[in-house]
Amino acid sequence: MTIAPGSNPLRSLAIVGLLFFIIGFFTWINGPLITFVRLAFDLDEVNAFLVLMVFYLSYFFLALPAAALLKRTGMKKGLAISLFVMAVGAAMFGEFSTQRWYPGALAGLFVIGGGLALLQTAVNPYVSILGPIESAAQRIALMGICNKVAGILAPIVIGTLVLHGVGDLAAQVETADAAGKAALLDAFAAKIHLPYLVMAGVLVVVAIGILFSPLPEVKPSEVNAAPVDDAADGERGLARFPHLWLGVLCLFVYVGVEVLAGDAIGAYGNGFGLSLDQTKFFTSFTLTAMLIGYVAGLVAIPRFVSQERYLAISATLGVLFALGALLTRGYVSVGFVAALGFANAMMWPAIFPLAIKGLGRHTETGSALLIMGIAGGAILPQAFAVLKQHYDFQAVFAGLAVPGYLYILYYALAGHRVGRSRPATAVPERGIMADSPP
């Protein structure tokens, strides 16, 4: 792996950091959007959680097409295209939300997710080429911090600009007649239009800037190149790598529990009777814990503990915090859910390289499959929203989270080694780590 000639690593790092900030902002704004759509579109909780379902399913459907597109356009143009696509999605969401047409708003979120799938597929290799391989872990941690800072800010921005006074508004809607209710909800829904129009404009400006930026143009196959025994590879392809498929499932589960802790925490707090004005900022609590977890991981790995061991520790903490949430009530229970952010912080950077190790010329396709695993953020939160209508919401949360963390623990201890007893054709492990959306 080599640094692109003529590139300025620090300047390029700043540009990529901005892109990870954008990824974090648009990923973690979904938590407060659940509150917004539930009131603006007069929805029940299950339908409001379609925000997460549609957004994260876009990764599943579009990750492989994104990888194919990047092979035609190159990574630099791919980055710009992804931002343009996100801008279209943001404009769609703002416009259709103002019109209070929920299918259109969901379509906008799907387009945003599709742009993010392309952005994730394109930007991850840059983290590895912006400096020496020996310092890749530090660069990845910096990208994670950019991502999580944006995640902290997103709920605050949307909570301040759009959801201010949402509790009082909900009470007024409850007592208003049909005409008054429609007027109140129309005015509330219109508040989302300007913020999303501004976001669309910013994305277009950044996209144009990327096209004229000094970012080096590289091919993912060159960045993650590794020798492969083609004779042994035969026609089985990725079937030779069970640790990859177990890793895809691991990322599916991880993103599911991460989104549960980050975006579903508001609905979790509502279960205790906490008001919308209190719960609208809860996602920021989880993201703050994740930021602390990133700093802890930056200090500890690999100086004091290996990636595999840290992943096992994180999964164990996930089990303990999920059980703590089950066994307590009120703000203490919510605090345990927020603390899951700390446990989740370094999971993607640990799982991703373990799953992709030794893929050689299959690295690009394997990476796209892993990004498809982000669809876990669609399934587990929706299961929570549906099941809590029939069972105790704390038991449902723990019933989804604890098995998920136990599987992550299995992957950390043994799953990542399945099928790798033969001599490995290794991809440099720290050079292919990348930060997640959720």
pLDDT digits (tens, 9 = 90+) for 44-100: 999 999 999 999 999 999 888 888 888 788 878 889 999 999 999 999 999 999 999
The residues near 358 (Cβ < 8 Å, ≥ 6 apart) are 226, 241, 420, 424, 425, 426, 427
DSSP 184-227: HHHHHHHTTHHHHHHHHHHHHHHHHHHHTS-PPP--HHHHT---
Helix locations, 414-434, DSSP H: none
Angle (CA) 6-126-311 rounded to 5° is 145
Residue 370 scores a pLDDT above 90: no
Long-range contacts of the stretch 3-10 (C-beta < 8 A, 24+):
3/129, 3/130, 3/131, 3/132, 3/216, 4/129, 4/216, 4/217, 4/218, 5/216, 6/216, 7/130, 7/214, 7/215, 7/216, 8/214, 9/130, 9/131
Residue 255: is its pLDDT beyond 80? yes
pLDDT at 436 > cutoff 50? no
How far from the centroid of its chain's Cα atoms is residue 282's Cα? 17
Task: Count CA within 13 A, CB hemisphere, residue 233.
Answer: 13
Q: What tokens appear for 140 in the block?
A: 């990845």
The token pair at 216 is: 């080096």
Q: Is residue 133 over pLDDT 50? A: no
Residue 210 identity (one-letter amino acid): I
Residue owning tokens 């949430």: 325
Structure confidence at residue 302 (pLDDT): 73
Q: What is the largest CA-CA distance in the chain?
A: 73
Dist CA 177 CA 179 (whole Å): 6
**pLDDT tens profile 21-30:** 999 999 989 9
Q: What is the pLDDT at residue 136?
A: 54
Ramachandran assignment for 436, one of left (phi > 0), alpha (psi -120 to 50 degrees), beta (any other): beta
pLDDT band for 281, please (50, 70, 90 cuts).
Answer: confident
* Coil vs helix vs strand at 33: helix
**Is residue 39 a contact partner of residue 143, using CB atoms and an 8 Å limit?**
no
Alpha carbon distance 393, 391 (integer Å): 6
For residue 158, give Cα distances in angstroms to 36, 153, 304, 306: 9, 9, 39, 38
Cα–Cα distance between 39 and 18 in angstroms, integer?
32
Please tell me the pTM assigned to this model: 0.82
Give me the domains of the chain, ranges plus CATH numbers. Answer: 9-420 (1.20.1250.20)
CA distances from 64 to 45, 103, 370, 392 (A): 31, 25, 10, 38
User: CA dist 59 to 373, 378, 397, Å?
Assistant: 8, 10, 24
Written as six digits, the tokens of 316 are 């164990």
The angle, 0 to 180 degrees and rounded to 10, between the axes of the packed helices 102-129 and 50-73 is 50
- The DSSP output letter for 247 is H
pLDDT band for position 426 (cuts 50, 70, 90) = very low
pLDDT at 207 over 60: yes
- The span from the CA of 390 to the CA of 393, in Å, is 9
Q: Are residues 351 and 250 in contact, defined by beta-carbon separation less than 8 angstroms? A: yes
Instruction: Tell whether the model's pLDDT for residue 227 goes beyond 90.
Output: no
**Between 256 and 164, whose confidence is greater?**
256
**What's the confidence (pLDDT) of residue 421?**
53
Judge whether residue 428 has pLDDT over 80: no
In degrees, rounded to 5, the angle at the alpha carbon of residue 410 between the alpha carbons of residues 256 and 285 is 35
Give yes or no for residue 430 having a pLDDT over 60: no
Q: So what's the pLDDT on residue 307?
A: 77
pLDDT confidence of residue 390: 93
The stretch 130-136 carries a mean pLDDT of 55
pLDDT in tens, 175-185: 899 999 999 99
Token look-up 């970012």 returns 215
The per-residue pLDDT for 192 is 95
Q: What is the DSSP string of 57-98?
A: HHHHHHHHHHHHHHHHH-HHHHHHHHHHHHHHHHHHHHHHHH
Query: Picking from 215-224, 298-307, 310-319, which range would have the lowest pLDDT averaged per residue?
Result: 215-224
Mean pLDDT of 218-235: 48
pLDDT of residue 80: 93
Structure tokens belonging to residue 206: 């950044």
For the record, the structure tokens of 404 come out as: 């998920």
Average pLDDT, the chain: 84
Burial per residue of 38-50, b for 16 or more beta-carbon CB atoms within 10 angstroms, e otherwise:
bbbbebeeebbbb
